[in-house]
Structure 1
Amino acid sequence: MTLTLATSETHDVAVVACSGEIDATNAGRLRDAVQEQIQAGHLHVALDLTEVTFLDSTGLGVIVGRLKTLRREGGALTIAVTAPRVRRVFEITGLDKVFTLHESIDEAAREAGEARDTARL
């Protein structure tokens, strides 16, 4: 299965929605999509992984890398994920302690917006 990406904005937060599989062959596309949002000035990004059916270590590495980039700039990265198989990848690696895994993109975007508002104070 291929990876489909779409970007939008909700709660004044950039959203990168992914659908399909994120693996070594296409993880660079995800990295580029998030990086484009950062370069456009969006330091608070929500990843919508609710339609992702597979995530390998390369894809996970891209997500962690974008988190580090955003944090360095004072931003945040939040995640919505519902597929048990994909959630399990975060749990096995302990990254469920780094990211709060949300059930919906609305929840994830709201958290990113709150992080943005807190950073402004």
Structure 2
Amino acid sequence: MMGGQVHLKVSYEDQHGGITVVRVESANQGDRLDSASAPELRGVLSRLADEGRLILVVDLSAIDSVDRSGFAMLGGILRRVHFEGGALVLVGPGKQERGMLARMGLRKVLLVHDTVPGAVEELAASYATADVEERARRRRATANTVLASGGHTYEHLSEDITLVKVAGGGTGGYLDGSNVAPLRKLMADLVTQGRCYLIMDLTDIDFIDSTGVGVFVGGLKRVRAFDGLVVLVVSSEPIRKAFRITGLTKVFPMLETVDRAVETIGREASGAYVRR
């Protein structure tokens, strides 16, 4: 099946095991997956997902390059199919694009294969042990369940939004260079799982230093690659001041309650599904 586009030609073919290979070809020399062409490919991938084709191999080997807009679009599709038990794998991004993925911290999120047969074989083996429905059941089972990681807890409020309750060290509730590593890992792991709308509840934190602030900046860079958002819940004026003096109150929405944070994501991030 074929769909015409402004810059790209897209075709797809169903393989065994419920896998669909989507081939993206260049209609003209120098074509790329960018802000101009990404919406067209998004339309095809969204339609395939609507039809239940949730295990996708996207072959980009015939186009010249992919920019951040292209990767953000693919990340959005990945987020959707992942929650429904599916997967999305890329084939063919060149050295420059792979380097961009690494710099954006996305190499563990958008998986890359050198060949279509290799990607299909690996996905077929993986889904032979647990099918789409089983994976969807497991992933949805974590929704509205409080989980623990590195001393912090988190809860998936919807298929898009995750609430992280940040725990401080010691009796003073501090977040600094001595204890930020588990939180940094948790935020990275959540993005890897396709969780790109994060509410970070800091109401138990009484002190934060520049290293602690930097964890949230790093997390924001990761989710922005997928048009995501990080919202902070802060009740302490010293914590607000720590973000204010670095100019980050203009970057992070900062609310006093979780409910208001959810409302903010629903208002500012049209791609997020809000359920409370």
Q: Where do 5+ consecutive residues of structure 2 fail to align? A: 1-149, 169-173
Determine which structure has greater relative contact order: mean sequence separation of CA pairs < 8 Å that are 6+ residues apart, divided by chain length.
Answer: 1
Deviations 1:77-117 (A, max 9, x none): 1110011111110111111111121001221133224444x
Q: Which amino acid aligns with 1:27?
A: V
Distance in 1, matches of 2:260 and 2:151, equals: 22
Out of 144, 147, 156, the residue aligned to residue 9 of structure 1 is: 156
Q: As a proportion of its length, which structure holds more helix?
A: 1
Aligned CA-pair RMSD: 1.8
Q: As a proportion of its length, which structure holds more strand?
A: 1
Percent identical across equivalent pairs? 32
TM-score scaled to structure 1, two decimals? 0.86
TM-score scaled to structure 2, two decimals? 0.40
Deviation at 1:11, TM superposition (A): 5.1
Please say which structure displays the higher CA radius of gyration: 2
- Secondary structure (helix, strand or coil) at the match of 1:46 reads strand
- Secondary structure (helix, strand or coil) at the match of 2:199 reads strand
- Secondary structure (helix, strand or coil) at the match of 1:8 reads strand
Out of 57, 74, 93, the residue aligned to residue 227 of structure 2 is: 74
Out of 41, 46, 50, the residue aligned to residue 203 of structure 2 is: 50
Distance in 2, matches of 1:109 and 1:56, equals: 26
Superposed, 1:1-121 pairs within 5 Å as 4-10=151-157, 12=159, 13-20=161-168, 21-116=174-269, 118-119=270-271
Deviation at 1:75, TM superposition (A): 0.9
- Secondary structure (helix, strand or coil) at the match of 1:50 reads coil
Q: Where do 5+ consecutive residues of structure 1 fail to align? A: none
Distance in 1, matches of 2:227 and 2:256, equals: 25
